[in-house]
Amino acid sequence: FFSKPRDFSLPNSSWGPEMMRLYEHYNSQCEAETEGGGKQKGPWRRIPSYNRSLKRKTSFFCVCFSGGVYLSKLIQSKARLFTRSIKEAGAAFEYVLFDNSDAQKCVGILQAGHLLEGPPGFVHGGAIATMIDTVTGAHAAVLSGPVMTANLNINYRSPIPLGSTVLLESSLDKTEGRKTFVSCQVTSSDGATLHTEATALFVSISVRKILD
C-alpha cells in the first residue's frame, strides 16, 4: 500500500557530464574504505529530496492543531516543493545537496534548465536566489533543526549561462541563540568563475509555527 516517494536528488537522463562529474565527486566521498577493506561513513552525506515536504505531518497537524481544514483539503493535496514542482526532467532545477557535518559545510550542485531563463541565455536572478535559499536553508536545518529564512543578502557578480552546471557552497559563519548565520558562494563547476555571493540568517522555529 505504501509506495516509496521518489528521491529527486539522484541522477536522471537529463544530467549532463559536469553534473554527473560533480555528483560522483561528492557521492564517492559518502563512503570511505576501512583499513580492512570494509566500508564506513565518509565525510559527505547526500541529502535526499522529494517533491513534497512534511506531507503526512502537515495534513495531520493542519487538521489537529491549526484548524487548517481548508488548507489541508484544498491546498495541501496540491502543494509541491517549489524547486521540484516541474515534472519534465532537466527543464528547471536539477540539483543535489551534500552535507559535511565535520566541516560544517553543505554543497549544492545545480544544472539550470531552460525554464529558468532571465536575461537572454542566462539564469534568472530569482532562480539563483531560490537555489541559494535552498542550499543555505537545508544547511541551517541540518545544523539547527527547523528554521526559516529571516534575511538573505545577495551579490550577483557574473551571470550564469542557462544550461550550465554550478556549485553552491554554504559555510557556517556562527550561531547565536536561535540565529544561524551562513555564507554561500556560487561558482562555475571548475571553481574558476565566481557567479554569486550571499549571506543568510535563519531563525529557529517550532514546527508548530510553520504550520500555524
Ligand X SMILES: CCCCCCCC(=O)SCCNC(=O)CCNC(=O)[C@H](O)C(C)(C)COP(=O)(O)OP(=O)(O)OC[C@H]1O[C@@H](n2cnc3c(N)ncnc32)[C@H](O)[C@@H]1OP(=O)(O)O
Active site residues: 133
Count of residues of this chain found to bind ligand X when the rule CB under 6 A is applied:
14
80 Cβ contact list (under 8 Å, min separation 6): 51, 52
Give the up-direction half-sphere exposure of residue 189: CA atoms within 13 A in the CB hemisphere: 21
Amino acid at 114: H
Distance CA 7, CA 21 (A): 19
Nearer to ligand X, 99 or 165 (CB): 99
| Distance set, CA 18 to CA 55, 59, 119, 167 (Å) | 33, 39, 23, 10
- Give whichever of 122 and 166 is closer to ligand X, judged by the CB atom: 166
Task: Verify binding: residue 59, ligand X, rule CB under 6 A.
Answer: no
Closer residue to ligand X (CB): 130 or 193 = 130
Q: Is 38 in the site for ligand X (CB under 6 A)?
A: no
Q: Which stretch binds ligand X (CB under 6 A): 2-10, 13-21, 31-39, 175-183?
A: 175-183
**Stretch in the footprint of ligand X (CB under 6 A) among 68-76, 106-114, 134-142, 182-190:** 134-142
- Note whether 123 and 196 are within 8 A (CB): no
Task: Tell me how far, at minimum, the Cβ of 192 lies from ligand X, in Å.
Answer: 28
DSSP 159: P
Q: Which of 19, 133, 170, 198 binds ligand X (CB under 6 A)?
A: 133
Q: How far is CA 185 from the centre of its chain?
A: 14
Q: Specify whether the CB–CB gap between 51 and 85 falls below 8 A.
A: yes
Find where cell 559535511 sits.
Answer: 100
The verdict on 177 binding ligand X (CB under 6 A) reads yes
> What is the CA angle 111-12-53, rounded to 5?
80
For residue 132, how far is the Cα from the chain centroid?
A: 8
Instruction: Please state the closest distance from residue 150 (CB atom) to ligand X, in A.
Output: 4
66 interacts with ligand X by CB under 6 A: no
Say whether residue 137 binds ligand X (CB under 6 A).
Answer: yes
Q: Which is nearer to ligand X, 54 or 115 (CB)?
A: 54
168 contributes a contact to ligand X by CB under 6 A = no
Only segment of 21-29, 87-95, 129-137, 153-161 that touches ligand X (CB under 6 A) = 129-137
Give the distance between the most distant pair of CA atoms in the chain: 57
Q: What are the residues binding ligand X (CB under 6 A)?
A: 133-134, 137-138, 148-151, 177-179, 201, 203, 205
